[in-house]
Amino acid sequence: MLPASWKNLTLALLTLCAVATSNAQDKVLNLYSARHYSTDEALYTNFTKATGIKINRIEAGEDALLQRIKAEGANSPADVFLTVDAGRLWIAEQDGVFAPVQSKLLNDRIPAAYRLASGTWYGFSTRARVMVVDRLKVKAGDINTYEDLADAKWKGQICARSGSHVYMLSLLSSIIEHNGAAKAEEWAKGVVANLARQPKGGDTDQLKAVAAGECSIALSNTYYIARLIKSDKPDDRAVMEKLRVVWPNTNARGVHMNVSGGGMVKTAPNKENAIKFLEYLASDEAQVYFADGNNEWPVVKSAVTKNAALDSMGKFKADEINMIALGKNQRLAQEIVNRVGWK
């Protein structure tokens, strides 16, 4: 049996270790992020300055990060997972990656359409998926809606990325929600019939293909367009000089919107810090960094950004569909894409 003095010393040492561990945890946030934008550095730096919490960041593709979190299991150091597209957030939620967050601040500041009522994930910035056309071949008013892309008059004139890419699946999911599965499949079949080439590349590749005359119409997220407009490369700016942005469905439901967002990992070792970080992302200051860094729009109405590239695209009406629909319809959207051969 240890002498009383030894017991006291042992207890004191254990207490000191516990306090040290607690203090270390109080000052750390482990962030797994599928966002790869250098402008986010200011966002993270300001959070650390404001809170004293150091951010340990691991960046990789969303699939790799999700697999890593699941493989790490209960021992995962991840506190927060950030990614892009509601479809990916939905997948992470369905895989049980997120834990519900109870935050009045987040619920008050972020519109209901851009978050789950359960608090498992939140959208922090938005992007629109628009049509871009050859300004010489397609006159203003010739094409106005996503549904018009399936019109046979555009046969051989459309460029698109893979139908299985999450950006396309999310758009198709929104069409399923608005028009029903049967009409959505008819639409997808019509678009495939109108393709100028086999789907390949990303959104920027589609923009350049239209400018090069390979096709007349393409779909793109707005931030890709803004990047070319703001580029310091003459060739990039020359691409946009040949194109015109069309905001689809302006006179109806509005343009398809999506989000970049995230949530607290269910096994987060630093839960309080995770919530602080998520709440910080909803602040006006962070919203400006978070959105403008990738040429997006903030979800918080009081946050005002000044982005000339986005402003140059003109005004638009946003589809107010809840982001949940983009997730729950993903599997059906993939089945449709498979059936119509949208590779």
Q: pLDDT band for position 39 (50/70/90)?
A: confident
Q: Do 108 and 68 belong together in one domain?
A: yes
Kindly list the distances between the CA atom of residue 68 and the CA atoms of 96, 266, 277, in Å, as whole numbers in the listed order: 13, 14, 21
The answer to the question of residue 249 being in a domain is yes
Does position 336 have pLDDT exceeding 50, yes or no?
yes
The answer to the question of residue 102 being in a domain is yes
SS3 content of the chain, % helix, strand, coil (to 5): 50, 15, 35
Q: What tens digit of pLDDT does each residue of 110-130 get?
A: 999 999 999 999 999 999 999
Q: Is 17 exposed, middle or buried (0-12, 13-18, 19+ CB in 10 A)?
A: exposed
The answer to the question of residue 212 being in a domain is yes
Q: Do 196 and 147 belong together in one domain?
A: yes
- Find the farthest-apart pair of alpha carbons in the chain and give their distance in angstroms, rounded: 92
| Per-residue model confidence (pLDDT) at position 38 | 73
Q: Is the dihedral of CA 282, 286, 287, 293 positive or negative?
A: negative
Does position 7 have pLDDT exceeding 60, yes or no?
no
Question: Tokens at residue 287, please?
Answer: 């919203």
Domain count, the chain: 2
Q: Do 107 and 156 belong together in one domain?
A: no
- For the chain, what is the mean pLDDT? 91
- CATH code, domain with 138: 3.40.190.10
Neighbours of 301 (CB within 10 A): 11
Buried/exposed code over 56-82 (b: 16+ C-beta within 10 A; e: otherwise):
ebeeeebeebbeebeeeeeebbbbbbb
Q: Do 215 and 297 belong together in one domain?
A: no
Q: Do 31 and 67 belong together in one domain?
A: yes
Q: Do 88 and 154 belong together in one domain?
A: no
The answer to the question of residue 16 being in a domain is no
Q: Do 319 and 194 belong together in one domain?
A: yes
- Amino acid sitting at position 151: D
Q: Do 155 and 238 belong together in one domain?
A: yes
Does position 12 have pLDDT exceeding 50, yes or no?
no
The answer to the question of residue 94 being in a domain is yes
Q: What tens digit of pLDDT does each residue of 229-269 get?
A: 999 999 999 999 999 999 999 999 999 999 999 999 999 99
The answer to the question of residue 17 being in a domain is no
Q: Do 224 and 269 belong together in one domain?
A: no
Does position 2 have pLDDT exceeding 90, yes or no?
no
Q: What tens digit of pLDDT does each residue of 169-210 get?
A: 999 999 999 999 999 999 999 999 999 999 999 999 999 999
Residue 88 phi/psi, 5-degree rounding, is -70, -35
Q: Do 105 and 219 belong together in one domain?
A: no
| Per-residue model confidence (pLDDT) at position 19 | 30
List the beta bridge partners of residue 55. Answer: 29
Does position 292 have pLDDT exceeding 90, yes or no?
no
The answer to the question of residue 21 being in a domain is no
Does position 136 have pLDDT exceeding 50, yes or no?
yes
Q: Do 71 and 149 belong together in one domain?
A: no
CA-based nearest residue to 305, from 289, 282, 283: 289
Q: What tens digit of pLDDT does each residue of 43-76 get?
A: 899 999 999 999 999 999 999 999 999 999 999 9
Q: Do 148 and 286 belong together in one domain?
A: no
Q: Is 2 exposed, middle or buried (0-12, 13-18, 19+ CB in 10 A)?
A: exposed
The answer to whether the CB of 97 falls within 8 A of the CB of 69 is yes
What domain range includes position 167?
128-256+314-340
Measure the CA–CA gap between 121 and 338, rounded to whole angstroms.
29
At how many degrees (to 10) do helices 4-26 and 271-281 cross?
20
Kindly list the distances between the CA atom of residue 63 and the CA atoms of 77, 122, 291, in Å, as whole numbers in the listed order: 17, 19, 23
